[in-house]
Amino acid sequence: MKRFALATLCFAAMSFAGCTDKSDNPVVDDDVDIVVMPLPETDQMDQTTAQRVTILGSGFSQVAEAFIRRVEHPMTSITDETDAILIKGSDINVLANDDSVAPDIMEAIRQGKKLIIDQPTVRQMRTAAWLVFFQTYPAESNDEYVHIDTGGEEHEDHVCYDMIAIDADGNIYTLNDIFDEDDGEPEQELTPYLNGLHADPLAAWLNEQAEGNNAMSARAATRGASGDLASKMTAQNVTRSYTLKPSNGYESRLTNRSCVFTISTNIWAAYKYDEDADYYLIEQTVLGNSSNFWIGSWKGGNWNYQGFFLSREIVSNTLRKDSHGTLLKNSEGAVLIDYSPTSTTGQHSTTVEESWNLSGSVGVSGSGVEGVLSGGVGGSISNTYTTEDMTITALSMNDDNCLNNAAWQYDINTNNYDFSGWSGYSFRTPPILGTNAFKSAQCWLWKVEHPKNYGDIILHVFLGFDHSFNSYRNKTFSSYSENGNFFNGWYKQDIIIRPPYRETISK
């Protein structure tokens, strides 16, 4: 029986405490002379998709409507050409009980099609999980169960995702945090530009799934083995987009501005019979763009400012052995064998790479295929990205609670000043990684001994960001500069790793 868990999100805003002496200390308050660089108003349509999406219903959310505009081949009924099905969360129960459409939905899911849901509540998501993973409507008397992530919501009738796309193989895309019901926030009245910004990643994810990027990576990760291994080793992909907002003290400076960052995790899992051990080869990327937070320079009192730009990303990955979040530790045989990148600074670009070479009988699963390969698994993955003006600090294995965490800190240069003893400070433009497109990538290899001693093995992800401003004050015989920042995070995600085939084989 397949069991399913969507990744868990918990958002916590961290406040920034600043000084209040307006003449001698930098503060970002409401009485400064500022001319904000405006955002575009129209949808930029940066992404479209050629995937054929069957759209069932009407009255979708603003972001879902923006996604529909990106669909080059929209359809109104489910056919053999359908690649994905879009429905509203509020229509799930009706559609699931409609004998004229429910069988078509479940058959499409069995064939590997994606189910895209607009703003499902926790209760509606439970029904959707049954449709996807059991292709049936849930009966209260049925003792089968499905783990779901509530997106941080505890109430059955609260929206748990802004949008979600899932398939029967456990590949998942989620969009979170456009608004938060628990904080009493109304849904933001997003401009067409911001609606499009939130819709772009889903269109991109559908394209990546269709173009076989994950399968191509799988072939690289498993080269030299049997010809059908690529399909068997297709990665489990879990992708989530987060809406980053300014935290306490900066909302007025960045009114109606948000940035979208996406974290994508590919997991290849194999079971080595002679060691009774799972191996997890993992590739993870974080993509985003901070241009919406960059409002340029301004003056307040005796101080000059420029901001806001991305200055730090922290990502940490640990293994959990149950739904209660219990750490799976090095002392229990969960070992971080290798990781990339290592700590580095001053590089224009960085290549991260990881490899594995498992001999003997190896159990694999993926794309609905399970089996044992007698010839082993071998290969590698790699990813190259720009790291100019960025320092990478490898924090892996530094968590004394488990000693097997895979973690990194990415710091973008914040020393954006020129100084002259005669005229004092002036600004330099922050690095483009901080004010525009940003990418980080990391990969690693875990080994878990005696995995059948546990139920679900869970990859737990922490993700956080800092955005900063620069400021200076020039006075006769004395000049000062100071940086400030606000924190976005922690964003949390739980991914149940799709287990490899571990059944007993004949000698």
Question: What CATH number has the domain bearing residue 261?
Answer: 2.70.240
C-beta of residue 1 within 8 angstroms of C-beta of residue 144: yes
Average pLDDT over residues 469-492: 91
| Model pLDDT, residue 476 | 75
Residues 345 and 205 in one domain: no
| Model pLDDT, residue 230 | 47
Residues 265 and 189 in one domain: no
Residues 188 and 249 in one domain: no
Of 131-135, 252-256, 417-421, 482-486, minimum mean pLDDT range = 131-135
Q: How confident is the model at residue 144 (pLDDT cuts 50, 70, 90)?
A: very low
- Highest mean pLDDT: which of 81-90, 92-101, 102-111, 203-212? 81-90
| Residue at which a domain ends, from 154, 187, 211 | 211
Residues 60 and 8 in one domain: no
337 domain-assigned: yes
Query: What share of the chain in percent tops pLDDT 70?
Result: 81
Q: Is 417 exposed, middle or buried (0-12, 13-18, 19+ CB in 10 A)?
A: middle
Cα–Cα nearest to 171, from 105, 108, 116: 116
37 domain-assigned: no
Q: Is 372 exposed, middle or buried (0-12, 13-18, 19+ CB in 10 A)?
A: middle
Has residue 21 got a pLDDT over 90? Answer: no
The 10s digit of each residue's pLDDT in 164-206 is 999 988 899 999 877 655 455 545 568 999 999 999 999 999 9
Has residue 479 got a pLDDT over 50? Answer: yes
Of 304-313, 415-424, 428-437, minimum mean pLDDT range = 415-424
Residues 401 and 444 in one domain: yes
C-beta of residue 472 within 8 angstroms of C-beta of residue 481: yes
Which amino acid belongs to residue 125? M
For residue 309, the enclosing domain spans 1-31+245-507
Cα–Cα nearest to 105, from 137, 150, 73: 137
The 10s digit of each residue's pLDDT in 268-292 is 999 999 999 999 999 999 999 999 9
18 domain-assigned: yes
Spatial CB neighbours of 326, under 8 Å, sequence gap ≥ 6: 320
Cα(479)–Cα(253) distance, rounded to whole angstroms?
Answer: 25
Number of domains in the chain: 2
Has residue 402 got a pLDDT over 50? Answer: yes
Residues 183 and 303 in one domain: no
Residues 265 and 391 in one domain: yes
| Model pLDDT, residue 20 | 30
273 domain-assigned: yes
Cα(66)–Cα(89) distance, rounded to whole angstroms?
Answer: 17
Residue with tokens 């926030």: 185
Residues 26 and 71 in one domain: no
Has residue 147 got a pLDDT over 90? Answer: no
380 domain-assigned: yes
Phi/psi for 293 (5° steps) reads -90, -10
314 domain-assigned: yes
Residue 365 to residues 161, 334, 499: CA-CA distances in angstroms?
28, 20, 7
Residues 19 and 61 in one domain: no
Q: Identify which has the larger pLDDT, 38 or 84.
A: 84
Average confidence score pLDDT of the chain: 84
Has residue 32 got a pLDDT over 80? Answer: no
C-beta of residue 53 within 8 angstroms of C-beta of residue 71: yes
Of 128-142, 295-309, 344-358, 406-420, minimum mean pLDDT range = 128-142
The 10s digit of each residue's pLDDT in 387-398 is 999 999 999 999
| Model pLDDT, residue 177 | 73
Residues 157 and 192 in one domain: yes
Residues 335 and 454 in one domain: yes
Q: How confident is the model at residue 255 (pLDDT cuts 50, 70, 90)?
A: confident
Cα(276)–Cα(138) distance, rounded to whole angstroms?
Answer: 35
Measure CA 72 to chain center: 25
| Residue at which a domain ends, from 169, 190, 211 | 211
Residues 172 and 288 in one domain: no
The 10s digit of each residue's pLDDT in 326-368 is 999 999 999 999 999 999 998 999 999 998 899 999 998 775 5
Cα–Cα nearest to 180, from 240, 245, 126, 124: 245
The b/e string for 229-250 (b: 16+ C-beta within 10 A; e otherwise) is bbebbbbbbbbbbbbbbbbebb
250 domain-assigned: yes
Average pLDDT over residues 121-135: 84
Q: How confident is the model at residue 489 (pLDDT cuts 50, 70, 90)?
A: confident
- Which is it for strands 406-412 and 303-320: parallel, antiparallel or unpaired? antiparallel
The 10s digit of each residue's pLDDT in 207-248 is 999 986 445 455 455 544 444 444 557 789 999 999 999 987
Q: Identify which has the larger pLDDT, 55 or 27.
A: 55
Terminal CA-CA length for the chain: 26
227 domain-assigned: no
Average pLDDT over residues 401-411: 97
